Structure 1
């Protein structure tokens, strides 16, 4: 069964829906997701979104990101990220997103490795608030169609030109032909025993790109978040305890109640310190304590974390939170330029599935949503300018549709083979945690 669209977008996280909203309204756009529209890591983001506060902050923002990324960042892409951050935040405000404010404007917070407060937020559910607001806007767009429960199986290609994708929707195979295809399929957390990601996020876009000889970069650059909620015998997705908790003064303590690390160091530094502390004390966790703050402050600033912890008997206004590192983010992915173009013609990649190079070896806190915004907007702008010159080849050659089970196994094999290059000091945590 064949369908034809101007633009096919695979993934309904922030990168996918924001690119769709920035495409011309006269374009016929299809958004697909292999589960439900809100089952994306963007929806789980707690801390907030980084933004250069003013022109004076741009160079400082760039320096902070370089320091976190071990100076392996793409400086051109990073400068774009900083320079275009404020514009895209203003667009979110235009879409109706209400960030927390005080009498001076945005209520900025700070997180690890930032030298100034520059992170805007919606309490501790920033991603959820942003995604919900943008979905409301998506529903108003008559040119945008959404297919849930639709798995991308392969790209439709000819001579390194992408003409859409082969998909399975509720067990039925479709060929989706399109002038332009955007991969926004997210990261690889579902491949790990312990991750803050949804289990359905299994590196599909990267695996399919590898299969089609699309260039990939830095797959070994995987971030372990220092503080996920520790629950005994829990395997699978762990609840993230936002870095904003530490940004607002939360303290990391060992089992003796002693501090052992600067809580606002870069994530890789804090993670290593926690792993070492757990090893030395033969414990599966350490504590993150914010109970010295007032009850009213905690419940107002971190309402979601307070409620979720309370469900398992932890009142964070009275006692510390047991936390442990868990896989969180992929800095590498499908190699793209500053307009999100891949090495395959008419194929773009945005968000965590892509590698713009802005993060380097280690992502600076709260730069993920910003990257999704900036580079999906740039992709949409380029597509708007060029799509009239793209001819969609009218061919219907037979495509080999593999079963969903086979594709899942293929994803795991390809990604796990690629992870062999991961830094030795994290190998056990990445594969076995």
Structure 2
């Protein structure tokens, strides 16, 4: 039955697919959920584009982790302060306390974070072997990274692991167009494939992990096909949404007159010493403030100078660090005509992340039974009104795993 109690015509659909869980999205949240579900359950994962075209692959800076017990209070406070204290404290606590276990799992899946040259296998704490970087609004370095393509390293490894699972089927170029609702419970999704055929994917549990809303903006760091489909569908069915006006603008993307997605200049560049300059080459702000504060400072400076960008200088970062920590940024800027080891680059704010979304509880359960949401499409309250840098990948996986755990527990009950 659909939500109006009318019987759906089976003949309207080219295929009727059955699964135990359907996951929408192949970013960090969707893939980690698939890996965390019981291996004796059939899982179907659909994605609107190819499996690699998720924003998780684009994340540059890194992933946060609780370095030690003494780091808890400062990590908690940094997250809360960046979020203007509108964060859900329970969710922040869950994320921080789960971070070390998530990192161990990622390393187990083959993720290679930057290691110290003197790293040894007999370290008392496994994190002692790794390098850390710092980003804006962090009181200390607590971010693990892989060059400047951490998202690609993590999500690529997760995708490779999911492809090995016999119980998981990935369907690319398959867009969710609606959910199936029976007796006020979610019972799967309606989708459309690349040929335009409508599919009915029935499953007693559904996890929405379809990403953000950047495709709705003219200037965004997101893939253009990420247009908030899950939000639109949730609103249609009266599913609770939260903080739809909490949209984060990233302060530094490479300025270009070309149309399309904006190239991100990672916050870790500023964490390593890069500074922002006005049209006259004068520094005008503290680059390590929260993202919304730095964005506002840039916009005010652009207005004052009558320009459409400001400048970012990496002159305080030595050449070897640039080439080894930020090789992707170096190469991309070089392709655009800028050698970051020798000259300033023009940067401008652009839409980057969505802190609002489909309301979920601490287990990623939405207000509709059997329907879960994780990652950027959800709102569990971790980020408050402004996300702390490099919390997104961690938050996505922590709460995707909790969704999988809740579903498994209900099966076992």
Normalised by the shorter chain, which TM-score bucket?
over 0.9
Retained in 2: the 8 A contact 1:179–1:387? Answer: no
Instruction: Give the deviation of 1:388 after TM superposition.
Output: 5.2
Report the Cα distance in structure 2 between the residues aligned to 1:361 and 1:342, rounded to whole angstroms.
20
Retained in 2: the 8 A contact 1:292–1:317? Answer: no
Cα deviation per residue 1:269-304 (whole Å; 9 max; x = unaligned)?
A: 000000000011111111111134332221111000
Q: How many residues align?
A: 388
Match of 2:98 in 1: 84
Match of 1:402 in 2: none
Instruction: Confirm or deny that 1:254 pairs with 2:278.
Output: yes
Retained in 1: the 8 A contact 2:338–2:345? Answer: yes
Q: Residues 207-226 of structure 1 correspond to what in structure 2 (within 5 A)? A: 207-226=232-251
TM score, norm. by length of structure 2: 0.93
Report the Cα distance in structure 2 between the residues aligned to 1:175 and 1:377, rounded to whole angstroms.
26
Report the Cα distance in structure 2 between the residues aligned to 1:314 and 1:54, rounded to whole angstroms.
40
Report the Cα distance in structure 2 between the residues aligned to 1:314 and 1:11, rounded to whole angstroms.
35
SS in 2 for 1:223: strand
Cα deviation per residue 1:345-378 (whole Å; 9 max; x = unaligned)?
A: 0000000000000111110000100100110011
Report the Cα distance in structure 1 between the residues aligned to 2:163 and 2:375, rounded to whole angstroms.
22
Report the Cα distance in structure 2 between the residues aligned to 1:230 and 1:94, rounded to whole angstroms.
38
Instruction: Give the deviation of 1:312 after TM superposition.
Output: 1.0
Q: Residues 33-432 of structure 1 correspond to what in structure 2 (within 5 A)? A: 33-102=47-116, 103=118, 104-170=128-194, 171-231=196-256, 233-387=257-411
SS in 2 for 1:224: strand
SS in 2 for 1:225: strand
Retained in 2: the 8 A contact 1:160–1:344? Answer: yes
Instruction: Give the deviation of 1:225 after TM superposition.
Output: 0.3
SS in 1 for 2:411: helix
Report the Cα distance in structure 2 between the residues aligned to 1:295 and 1:248, rounded to whole angstroms.
12
SS in 2 for 1:163: strand
SS in 1 for 2:133: coil
Retained in 1: the 8 A contact 2:272–2:317? Answer: no
Match of 1:408 in 2: none
Retained in 2: the 8 A contact 1:15–1:373? Answer: yes
Instruction: Give the deviation of 1:106 after TM superposition.
Output: 1.5
Retained in 1: the 8 A contact 2:147–2:326? Answer: yes
Report the Cα distance in structure 2 between the residues aligned to 1:151 and 1:368, rounded to whole angstroms.
23
Report the Cα distance in structure 2 between the residues aligned to 1:159 and 1:370, rounded to whole angstroms.
34
Cα deviation per residue 1:188-232 (whole Å; 9 max; x = unaligned)?
A: 00000000000010001111111111100000000000000001x
Instruction: Give the deviation of 1:56 after TM superposition.
Output: 1.3
Q: CA RMSD in A?
A: 0.9
Retained in 1: the 8 A contact 2:273–2:316? Answer: no
SS in 2 for 1:237: coil
Report the Cα distance in structure 1 between the residues aligned to 2:85 and 2:346, rounded to whole angstroms.
33
Report the Cα distance in structure 2 between the residues aligned to 1:387 and 1:209, rounded to whole angstroms.
25
Cα deviation per residue 1:373-398 (whole Å; 9 max; x = unaligned)?
A: 11001111111111356xxxxxxxxx
Cα deviation per residue 1:301-347 (whole Å; 9 max; x = unaligned)?
A: 10000010111111101101110000000000000000000000000
Match of 1:411 in 2: none
Unaligned regions of 5+ residues in structure 2, if any? Answer: 1-14, 119-127
Retained in 1: the 8 A contact 2:41–2:167? Answer: yes
Match of 1:404 in 2: none
Q: 2:33 aligns with which of 16, 19, 35?
A: 19
SS in 2 for 1:194: coil
Retained in 2: the 8 A contact 1:192–1:236? Answer: no
Instruction: Give the deviation of 1:136 after TM superposition.
Output: 1.3
